[in-house]
Amino acid sequence: MSLRPFLNPTMNCKRIDLHCHSRASTEADEAVLQAIRCPESYSEPAEIYAQAKQRGMDFVAITDHDSIAGVRELAHRPDVLVGEEVTCYFPEDHCKIHLLVWGITADHTALQAVANDIYEIARYVAKHRIAHAVAHPLYRQNGVLSRRHIEKLLLLFKGFECLNGAHSMTHRQVFEPLLDELNVTEIRRLEAIHGIEALWPAPWDKTRTGGSDDHGLFNIGRTWTEFAEEVETIEDLLEAIRNGHCQPGGEAGSSIKLAHNFFSVGMRHFTREVAKSDRNFKSAIMRKMLGEKQTCGRVAFATGAIGWKARSLLSRVGRKLRFRRQPRGVDLLNQLLASSAMRNFDRIGPMARALKQDRSPMAEHQAMFDWVGKIDRDVAAGILDTVMSDIGAGQIGGIIDSISTLIGHQAMLLPYYFALFHQNQERDLLNKLSRRGRAIEGNTLRVGLFSDNTTETSAAGRFAQDFARFAESRGLRGIVHAVGAGSAAESKWRRNFAPLVERRMEPLGIDIVIPPVLEILEWADRQQFDAIVINTTGPMALCGWLAAKMLRAPVLAVCHDDLPARVFKNTKGDYRLSTAAGSYVQWLYRGAAKVLVATREGRDAAVKMSGLKIKGLPPATAIESAWKACAAAAGIDLNPRQGEPMEAISI
């Protein structure tokens, strides 16, 4: 990837975050936020200015959706750039595009008047030489964006946001080389195809910008655009953008950062619209986490904290003396959340330091995610302990209450799950949109294998061990994932996760091992696997399946034994459970691009199920054949070595 830097690395560059939002971004794109009338941001313009300056920005911009009301509050400052993120559309198919424009105080009304026609907007911007950049150009906002739209954008506009602090680095890695290869010949070819004349001089030379796209007052100034040291005024800045004399810098986005932006907007909505009282203790806690100034006063806050601790202590004493019943439902969830949050907070150094410095602990993104992971474990363990107690006492109603508590607990983590899937929604489309992407070859293919067992005592465990050894010996990017203390030692090719919950359920005579689903998905998001292998039918198979869905990656399942037959034997002939197990395995395997079999038992079990794409693995080269199957599923044609055919079983 070439950045074509025009700046000398030794220069003292000028910086500005060219993309962020204030409370003037009142219309939310997400349906959930629209339903509760929650805006996209609650950030105060003055707070945006302060955070940008704190993080070393020489100039400050605010680019609200279709509004300049927020930035106008700061427009009197000589280092503030008036900006806007205009929502516009291709009139022929309503493809939605966001266009960042700067220095447009007098042009705001005119731009909004033609927002439904991107061609009219482009002509207006070019005629008036408005500094601009197409925001997150590969982001499909309403599911319509295609290669054709991107080619038209290249003809219509001069500037493009190549680094967005809310989107992954993959967008930049795919899009910027496309700009690098633009030349006179390519521009003329695009003009002939689309019947559009390029609107700017030297249309092959594009302006490239960067901005945080912050909505929650967490990331302002962490992604920016750099300018030469000679840029002194706002007009200098605008002229540099028009001429392409700038380059993006700073951080790309991540799923964790996106999730925390969602949390920020939701929490600010709660403190402003739901718990409006200045004396509401929950609201005060949220404001502290957001880094906001307390409105309830130190005495009121301390009184609330002491009151909460006193109630918690009395509740525990009452339960031990049997004066109080075991909490259920929301009460149980609140108790588990509060006790775990308080107990673990000081153990997370960056968050504790941020709180002492009156900064937002939530802006310490990795530390915040680690803290949530600890709370997730504590809450899940507490709920499962309650379930086990209810099972022992035969309390069916209590079990149902505990299940509803678990659902409520997972609902609180929805911003993370949504962000993980949202961040990867264009992954399989990036190559199609730009006809580019990471060149996947045999030695760069990234494969994640998910297994419940990695010991030598089972066929699945031996397969997982052989897979890790094969990847290690060839220097390939294959990682085996497992959960529990019995897993093989961790290395570059082996990733072991601590169980979310691990309990022995004596009444049922079984061991419960629940994987940390959120932690596993976040890890898989960072690894960006090209193919997923599920080497089990247990909990880790479901984690692998979810990771594949998130990453838009193909799934390959390895069948080692006959699960329905095993369930039938272990339950002493329970037909209903064995039938349910058969339906589950059929569902799991039918979603796989291939079902791989390396043993006779696995082959016999797979053949029983109809509609599966089965591939046999020759015993002598089982792992290498499995790797080739992963490559084929990911769209790579590896030339098989002579004497090592990949045999398919016909059924």
Supply 590's token pair.
């039918």
- Grouping H, G, I as helix, E, B as strand and the rest as coil, residue 477 is strand
Range of lowest pLDDT (86-90, 202-206, 561-565, 569-573)? 569-573
The reported pTM is 0.85
Tell me 215's DSSP state: S
Position 9 pLDDT exceeds 60: no
Q: pLDDT: is 495 or 388 the higher one?
A: 495
pLDDT of residue 45: 97
pLDDT of residue 478: 95
Tens-place pLDDT, residues 152-175: 999 999 999 999 999 999 889 889
Give whichever of 321-335, 556-570, 599-613 has the largest mean pLDDT. Answer: 556-570
Beta strands 131-134 and 614-616: pairing type? unpaired
Distance separating alpha carbons of residues 94 and 96, to the nearest angstrom: 6
Burial classification of residue 467, based on how many CB atoms lie within 10 Å of its CB (0-12 exposed, 13-18 middle, 19 or more buried): buried
What is the identity of the amino acid at 432? K
Position 321 pLDDT exceeds 90: no
Domain ranges of the chain: 14-253, 258-418, 439-633
Distance separating alpha carbons of residues 314 and 302, to the nearest angstrom: 18
Position 648 pLDDT exceeds 70: no
Average pLDDT value for residue range 353-378: 89
Please state, as a whole number, how many other Cβ atoms lie within 10 Å of the Cβ of residue 200: 20
Position 8 pLDDT exceeds 60: no
Q: pLDDT: is 178 or 427 the higher one?
A: 178
Integer-rounded Cα Rg, in Å, for the chain is 28
pLDDT band of 304, cuts 50, 70, 90: low
Average pLDDT value for residue range 599-628: 85
Total residues found in the chain within this entry: 651
CA distances from 634 to 444, 446, 471, 528, 548 (A): 12, 10, 17, 13, 12
pLDDT of residue 30: 63
Tens-place pLDDT, residues 38-56: 788 889 999 999 999 999 9
Tokens 């070439």, located at residue:
2
Position 328 pLDDT exceeds 70: no
Report the percentage of the chain scoring pLDDT > 90. 52
Average pLDDT value for residue range 427-454: 75
Tens-place pLDDT, residues 501-515: 887 766 555 677 889
Position 330 pLDDT exceeds 80: no
For residues 147, 152, 154 and 155, what is the CA-based torsion angle, rounded to 10 degrees? 160
Helix (H) or strand (E) holding 262: helix 255-269
pLDDT of residue 246: 96
Could you tell me the CATH superfamily of domain 14-253? Metal-dependent hydrolases (3.20.20.140)
Average pLDDT of the chain? 85
Distance separating alpha carbons of residues 213 and 215, to the nearest angstrom: 7
Architecture of domain 439-633: 3-Layer(aba) Sandwich (3.40)
pLDDT of residue 430: 76
Supply 83's token pair.
């900006």
pLDDT band of 456, cuts 50, 70, 90: confident
**Beta partners for residue 20, in sequence order:** 214
Average pLDDT value for residue range 204-223: 96
